[in-house]
Structure 1
Amino acid sequence: MKFKTFAAFVGPSVFMMILFIALPLVSVLIQSFQITQPVMERIEVETCTPGFLTQTCVTEIKTVPIIGDDGKTVTTTEWTGFESYRNVLQMDKFWAAISNGTPGEILQIDFWKALRFTLMFTLVTLPLVIGVGLLIALTVNNAVRAVRGPVIFISLLPFIITPVIGSLSIYWLFVGDGILTSMMERWSGQNISMFAQAWTVELLMYFYRVWHVAPFAFVIFYAGLQSVNMDTLESAVIDGASRFERLRHVVIPHLMPLIIFISLIHLMDCYRVFEEIVGFRAEAHVKSLQWLTYDFLRPDDAGNRAISRASASAMLTMIGIVFLLILPLRRTWRDHKGGSH
């Protein structure tokens, strides 16, 4: 293929990636090393009580932001190095908890609390998504042809629903006098509040993620099962291999590239968990790194946003994703090099 032809095909994609991915990423990186604050001034403000003869006026000094000629607040930007990262990580409190022999206090720090939940959410749901998706794919692949279509359609419904709507659906089933909560209370004879403690909220969020994402793994695995070498399977049956042995030694090795692909997608998506916290209204119990970044961007009482800390939190989230992807990417690279020889 000529270079001009290649550039004509690839050029628009590269341009869009630079415009919408690379440049915003560089902007966030730069903002994480800066602090932008409004320029303040101290002015005398006189307030008077209503009335004429008995009117009382009081003069006080107030600090207010300076408003420019364009009607916007005048701001100043300073380079602060890693100050925003230190404010997010709060390493002084981290090491104080370690030195005092109270590591539990680390989880009182917002970033480390969010990191704990994000890692747990990602690593717990990953094997469940792969296992449930593979189980559905094997079941559908071995089902009678007449029922495969309806089963595939029903299995894909959770994945078709948008994440926020899906999480709200699970939330309504268990919150207050929800259908499933009422059934459990009738069965146990006790009052049940699934959203009163953090661990039950986390369990419901794990359940929702597996319910929502397993259909994606199912579709990928079902497509991969159609290309399994039937001669190899028949040879294994003749040799007396059980169903589990055929699955372990023939099917799973054949699906391993797809397992790695699903793992990569799931790790990147789960580490940025956000919709579940919104749908379950769980910010009082759990925080994720993505939610922490959003929380920094919410304006305070004065209307200011902690953009520098939000940028630092976003960069730390991206670094965490890279670390999680190292192992599957190394496996993919090793398989690629082995197959190229």
Structure 2
Amino acid sequence: MKFRTFAMFVGPSVVMMLMFIAFPLVTVLLNSFQVTQPVFQVVETETCTPGFITQTCTTEIKTIPVLDGDGKTVTTTRWVGFSSYANVLGGERLTRALSDFDLGAVLQIDFWKALRFTLTFTLVTLPLVLGLGLAIAVVVNNAATAVKGPVIFVSLLPFIITPVIGALSIRWLFYGDGIVTVWLEALFDTNLSVAANGWAIEFLMMFYRVWHVAPFAFVIFYAGLQTVNQDTLESAIIDGASRWERLRYVVIPHLMPLIVFITLIHLMDAYRAFEEVIGFSSESYRITLQYLTYDYLTPDDAGNRQISSASASAMLTMIGVVVLLAAPLRRTWRDHRGA
């Protein structure tokens, strides 16, 4: 292929990747090492009460932002090095907690609290998604042809639903006077408050993730099952292998590249979980690293955003994703070289 033809095909993709991936990433990296703050000035203001003879005036010293010719606040940017990262990680609070070997105090810091839940959320839901997706795929693959279509359609519904809507649907079943909560209260003759228990909210968030993502794993596994060598399966049956043995020694090794692929997608997606926190209103109990970045970007009462801290949090989240993906990517590379 000529270089000009190659450039015409690849050029647009490279330009788009530079515009929407590389440049924003470099910008976030730079913002994490600098702080932009408004410029303030100290002015003396005089306030007088109404009247002529009895008029009294008071002088106050106020600190107000400096405005430019267009009426916008003047800002200044300065480099702070790794100060934003230290601030996100906890700074002196983290140092004091580590010196006292106080794990509870460490988990009270927003970043470490978010990291604890994010890792738990990601690593607990991963095997459940893989197992449930594979189970559905095996059942559908062995089902009668007449029922495969309806079963596939029903199985895909959770994946089709918009994430926030799906999270709200699960929430309405359990929060307040939700149907499931009312049934549980009648069954155990007690009052339940799911929204007041962090562990219950955490369970619901994981349940929703598995319910929402398992159909994706099911579709991938179902496609992979269509390519399993039937001669190998028949040979295993002749040798007296049980269903479990055929699944363990024939089907799962055949599906291993798909298992690695689903693992990669799930690790990237679950580690950046955000919809669950919004859908279940879990900010007071459980937060994720992605939500922590969003929280830094939320304006305070004065309208200021912590851009530097948000950028540092985003970079730390990206580093975490890379660490999680290292093992499956290494396996994929070994399999590729072996092939």
Give the direction of change, closer, same or farther, for the CA distance of 1:243–1:105 in structure 2 (3 Å limit).
same
1:99-120 superposed Cα distances (whole Å, 9 cap, x missing partner): 2132111001111001001100
Q: Which runs of 4+ in 1 moved over 6 A?
A: none
TM-score normalised by L of structure 1: 0.97
Aligned match of 2:276: 276
* Residue type of the alignment partner of 1:133: G
Partner Cα separation in structure 2 for residue 53 and residue 249 of structure 1: 101
Aligned residues with identical type, % of pairs: 71
Aligned match of 2:114: 114
- Which shows bigger deviation, 6-15 or 33-42? 6-15
Aligned match of 1:242: 242
Give the direction of change, closer, same or farther, for the CA distance of 1:45–1:149 in structure 2 (3 Å limit).
same
> Shift in Å at residue 14 of structure 1?
1.0
Partner Cα separation in structure 1 for residue 95 and residue 323 of structure 2: 23
Q: Are 1:191 and 2:191 an aligned pair? A: yes
Q: Structure 2: which 5+ residue stretches go unaligned? A: none
Aligned match of 1:167: 167
1:141-187 superposed Cα distances (whole Å, 9 cap, x missing partner): 01010000000000000000111110011111111001111111111
> Shift in Å at residue 197 of structure 1?
1.4
Aligned match of 1:315: 315
* Residue type of the alignment partner of 1:336: H
* Residue type of the alignment partner of 1:46: E
TM-score normalised by L of structure 2: 0.97
3-state DSSP of counterpart to 2:177: coil
Aligned match of 2:141: 141
Aligned match of 1:13: 13
> Shift in Å at residue 306 of structure 1?
0.6
* Residue type of the alignment partner of 1:97: A
Q: Are 1:177 and 2:177 an aligned pair? A: yes
Partner Cα separation in structure 1 for residue 72 and residue 174 of structure 2: 46
* Residue type of the alignment partner of 1:297: L
How many aligned positions are there?
339
1:242-293 superposed Cα distances (whole Å, 9 cap, x missing partner): 1000000000000000000000000000110101000111101111111110
3-state DSSP of counterpart to 1:176: coil
Aligned match of 2:127: 127
- Which shows bigger deviation, 42-51 or 315-324? 42-51
Give the direction of change, closer, same or farther, for the CA distance of 1:230–1:179 in structure 2 (3 Å limit).
same
Partner Cα separation in structure 1 for residue 50 and residue 197 of structure 2: 50
Q: Structure 1: which 5+ residue stretches go unaligned? A: none
Aligned match of 1:336: 336
Partner Cα separation in structure 1 for residue 55 and residue 217 of structure 2: 74
Partner Cα separation in structure 1 for residue 249 and residue 282 of structure 2: 42
Superposition map of 1:1-341 within 5 A: 1-49=1-49, 56-339=56-339
Across the aligned residues of Structure 1 and Structure 2, the Cα RMSD in angstroms comes to 1.2
> Shift in Å at residue 3 of structure 1?
2.1
* Residue type of the alignment partner of 1:151: V
3-state DSSP of counterpart to 2:70: coil
Give the direction of change, closer, same or farther, for the CA distance of 1:50–1:11 in structure 2 (3 Å limit).
same
> Shift in Å at residue 94 of structure 1?
2.2
1:229-249 superposed Cα distances (whole Å, 9 cap, x missing partner): 000000000000010000000
3-state DSSP of counterpart to 2:301: coil
> Shift in Å at residue 11 of structure 1?
1.1
Give the direction of change, closer, same or farther, for the CA distance of 1:241–1:61 in structure 2 (3 Å limit).
same
